Amino acid sequence: MESFVNEYVAKNISEKDIDFETESIENIPNGFRAKESYKILNSKTFTETFSISEPGKDFETYSEVTLRKVK
């Protein structure tokens, strides 16, 4: 199985949000960037958003999920 290593740095940390952006990405063309964001909606729910940008372009959402605690 092939392994991928991405190195992220925290860019924004607040009470309800945290954003990480890549410092380096393996196995993807140079200049691409990725961002992983978490937003707390309430005590049982948060969203996770993964965004990517091509060289010289703004981030675009690639995927977003909402996670809820059930117990």
Q: What's the structural domain count of the chain?
A: 1
Going residue by residue through the chain (71 aa), what tens digit of pLDDT does each one get?
Answer: 666 688 899 999 999 999 999 988 888 888 999 999 999 999 999 999 999 999 999 999 999 999 999 98
| Euclidean distance between CA atoms 22 and 34, whole angstroms | 5
| Euclidean distance between CA atoms 19 and 64, whole angstroms | 14
Task: Quick: pLDDT tens for 31-45.
Answer: 999 999 999 999 999
**pLDDT value at position 1?**
60
Full domain range(s) for residue 45: 6-68
| Euclidean distance between CA atoms 25 and 55, whole angstroms | 13
Q: In this structure, is residue 13 part of a structural domain?
A: yes
Q: In this structure, is residue 14 part of a structural domain?
A: yes
Q: In this structure, is residue 37 part of a structural domain?
A: yes
Q: Is the pTM of this model over 0.85?
A: no
Q: In this structure, is residue 1 part of a structural domain?
A: no
